Amino acid sequence: MSADDLPDPGPDSDENVSTEPFERAVACVIPAKDEAERIAATVDAVHKIIGVDLVVVVDDGSTDRTAEAAEQAGAVVVRHEKNRGKAAAMETGAAAVAERDGARPRHLLFLDADLTDTAAGAGPLMEPVQTGRADMTIGTLPAQVRADGSKAGGHGFVVRLSRAGIQEAIGWAPEQPLSGQRCLTRAAFDSAVPLAAGFGVETALTIDLGRKGFRIVEVPIDVRHRATGTDLRGQLHRAKQYLHVRRALSARSALPADGGGSSRFPRKTTQ
């Protein structure tokens, strides 16, 4: 995908236009918790992305062999003795990259640990950042399906809340506001630290960077992750996700008046 194929950027300002060299290499940071069965395949696939020269896996308090599997696959592994959450893992991974950077810091590609061999499809997230079109890209994924072929996901209430809150805050409604597949310049990432805790991290990251004038675009990518079910465990996961997103929005005075239930906000589409 070329930069010309991308949607028009979201929030834009000359205040924070990146001045980093566009050819800069990219480091991939993968937060992981109990992903021993999938992490090696994910790391192997990321190694195939042209332009990624460092893969860092942050083992966030796993109780299985996630760290060992990631190391065997060739990743640099940093461990949290106890689970500290995704935001902390992202910050730890970025710090590990910074320790290996010289005067020319790498861009940062954040991917989920459960993508397995489809992680190679995240490559298009890098080009807009490397060519200066964007300070952060957000990956939009195809419809996810379960092993039995049924459609994955819940009823969309968490997505609607996040989208409406972002619209309230910065006047832009992303198609997939909860996507964890993102590429950022180092300057953009450092501007957003400390990250919001829990499942509100992506929503808060978009608002915080948008309000500071960093340029954000969504990029379609062909990756697939483990689908969340509709059983009790899946419903509890989405309820927790909803509370975390709501907390992040409240902290930013961005709670929509209707609680995010409205679908009136337009979605960004590829031109």
Burial of residue 232 (number of CB atoms within 10 Å: 0-12, 13-18, 19+): exposed
Residues of the chain falling short of pLDDT 50: 1-9, 12-22, 150, 262-271
**222 token code pair:** 């062909």
CA distances from 84 to 14, 89, 93, 234 (A): 36, 7, 13, 21
Helix (H) or strand (E) holding 53: strand 52-60
Between CA 99 and CA 110 the distance in angstroms is: 17
Helix-then-strand count for the chain, H and E: 8, 7
Residue 233 backbone phi and psi in degrees, to 5: -60, -45
194 upstream amide cis, omega within 30 of 0: yes
What local confidence, expressed as pLDDT, does residue 231 receive?
A: 57
Between CA 131 and CA 94 the distance in angstroms is: 21
What local confidence, expressed as pLDDT, does residue 238 receive?
A: 78
What local confidence, expressed as pLDDT, does residue 29 receive?
A: 98
Kindly report the pTM of this predicted structure.
Answer: 0.84
What local confidence, expressed as pLDDT, does residue 93 receive?
A: 98
Residue 214 backbone phi and psi in degrees, to 5: -70, 145
CA distances from 81 to 38, 45, 78, 155, 196 (A): 20, 26, 10, 35, 21
Q: Report angle CA 169, 174, 178 to the nearest 5 degrees.
A: 95
Q: For residue range 190-204, list pLDDT tens digits in order.
A: 999 999 988 999 999
Number of other CB atoms surrounding residue 81 within 10 Å = 8
Q: For residue range 62-119, list pLDDT tens digits in order.
A: 999 999 999 999 999 999 999 999 999 999 999 999 999 978 899 999 999 999 999 9
Question: All domains of the chain, ordered by start, with CATH?
Answer: 8-149+172-228 (3.90.550.10)
Rounded to 10 degrees, the C-alpha dihedral 180/184/187/193 comes to 0
Q: DSSP string spanning 100-125?
A: H--SSPPEEEE--TT-GGGGGGGGGG
What local confidence, expressed as pLDDT, does residue 236 receive?
A: 72
